[in-house]
């Protein structure tokens, strides 16, 4: 029986980041959906939940933390990986304490990103 590729959502207001992350994740056989805003991502939720969402911290209107908090408040359980070009260890600890799977700094290291995804989806890809 064929294994279904885990669905990962990427939310970032930078189209270049979306394109690069989508290409990288698809090269590892993930089913990737991209969104340029938290609002776009929320509007797509009725069509199915991803196993994991990778979200940029710094976005206009609704930042990554606000998106994560909205999901939590509404009982929507999606493992969240926060990414940012701006951060330090104190900020990382604060956001990880908010229930994030990981807090990663841009430019992303492939190994750190894939380790965070593996943690987020619970090792469901351990056979591949």
**DSSP-based three-state secondary structure for 40:** helix
pLDDT at residue 32 is higher than 90 = yes
**CA atoms of 44 and 16, how far apart (whole Å):** 21
pLDDT band for position 1 (50/70/90)?
low
Are the C-beta atoms of residues 59 and 36 closer than 8 Å to each other? no
Where are the domains positioned within the chain? 62-122
- pLDDT attached to residue 12: 98
Nearest CA to 56 out of 112, 95, 7 is that of 95
- Reported as a single tens digit per residue, the pLDDT across 36-87 is 999 999 999 999 999 999 999 999 999 999 999 999 999 999 999 999 988 7
Which of the four pLDDT bands, split at 50, 70 and 90, describes residue 29?
Answer: very high
pLDDT at 2: 60
> DSSP assignment of 14-34, as one string?
-HHHHHHHHHHHHHTT-EEEE
For 77-128, the pLDDT digits (tens) are: 999 999 998 877 777 777 767 889 999 999 999 999 999 999 999 855 443 3
Q: Assign 9 to helix, strand or coil.
A: strand
Q: Which CATH architecture has domain 62-122?
A: 3-Layer(aba) Sandwich (3.40)
Structure pTM?
0.90
């Amino acid at each position: 029986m064929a294994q279904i590729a885990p669905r990962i959502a990427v939310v970032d207001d930078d189209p270049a980041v979306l394109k690069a992350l989508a290409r990288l994740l698809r090269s590892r056989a993930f089913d990737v959906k991209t969104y340029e805003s938290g609002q776009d991502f929320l509007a797509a939720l009725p069509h199915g939940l991803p196993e994991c969402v990778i979200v940029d911290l710094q976005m206009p209107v609704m930042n990554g933390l606000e998106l994560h908090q909205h999901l939590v408040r509404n009982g929507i359980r999606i493992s969240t990986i926060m990414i940012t070009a701006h951060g330090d260890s104190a900020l990382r600890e604060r956001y990880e304490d908010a229930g994030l799977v990981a807090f990663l700094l841009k430019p992303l290291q492939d190994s750190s990103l894939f380790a965070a995804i593996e943690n987020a989806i619970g090792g469901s890809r351990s056979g591949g």
